[in-house]
Amino acid sequence: MEFEMTFLALNRHKLKYFFMTCMTVGFLVSEFFYLFFDFKDDDITTLLWNTLFCFSIGVFFSVFIFLVVYFQWYYIHRLRFQLFNIPIVNDLKSIGFNFFELNKDSSFSFSEILLKGECNGYNIIVEENTKGIQFMIYASHIYPLDTKELNAFKTEFKHLNLDLEFAGVTFQIKQKDLKEYDVNRIKKELIEITDLLKIKGFLPAEELELA
């Protein structure tokens, strides 16, 4: 799968459902307000104008939501395109990272292309980051951590550029340090980090769900 796929190439089959849903929501909401505030009589002309007005609002609402979602999608897509064109990121494919389609089977979210890898059973996503390259390692602790434990983890592993997020642990390579890295060093550090996560009680997300 190539990264430079257009929005339509990825999401053409979802647009019909998207517009039908948005138009229905827009129509029903505008119909409610129209009837609640402006409905004076029930002659056929008024009903026709009411229907036309609410349908127009539904169309406008659909187009507006689509433009907002599309420009957000496009902005993130361009950031990822720039990220994936960094030589060392492109070289990650030599250690098992590949493009995959996120939200492929979802009717409610548009599809995106991400760079995904695996290490010690942990799924890892390469994320766009203005400060460098960031790896999201999907993991969950075997029990919920309280605030004190979370802060202790962040303090203990701050020097490794690790941080806790809702979905797992992030590992960041800062822009100024990229010249010191190659894919073999990245692979070595990801192995060390995931080994450390297991010691600290962080299991791969899928493994935790099946436990």
Please say if the pLDDT value at position 11 is more than 60: yes
DSSP letters along 107-169, please? SSS--EEEEEEEETTEEEEEEEETTEEEEEEEEEESS---HHHHHHHHHHTGGGTEEE-SSEE
> Per the structure block, which two tokens stand in for 111?
């599809």
Cα–Cα distance, 135 to 191 (Å, whole number) = 13
The listed range with the strongest mean pLDDT (27-36, 41-50, 138-147) is 138-147
pLDDT digits (tens, 9 = 90+) for 102-153: 888 877 788 888 899 999 999 999 987 777 889 999 988 766 777 787 778 7
pLDDT of residue 208: 38
Residue 97 backbone class (left: φ over 0; alpha: ψ -120 to 50; beta: rest)? beta
Cα–Cα distance, 196 to 200 (Å, whole number) = 6
For the beta carbon of residue 89, count every other beta carbon within 10 angstroms: 20
Q: Which CATH number fits domain 91-210: 3.30.1460, 3.40.50, 1.10.45, 3.30.420?
A: 3.30.1460
Please say if the pLDDT value at position 88 is more than 60: yes
pLDDT digits (tens, 9 = 90+) for 159-177: 778 888 878 888 988 888 8
pTM of the model: 0.72
pLDDT category of residue 63 using cuts at 50, 70 and 90: confident
Q: Domain segments of the chain: what residues? A: 7-84, 91-210
Mean pLDDT of the chain: 80
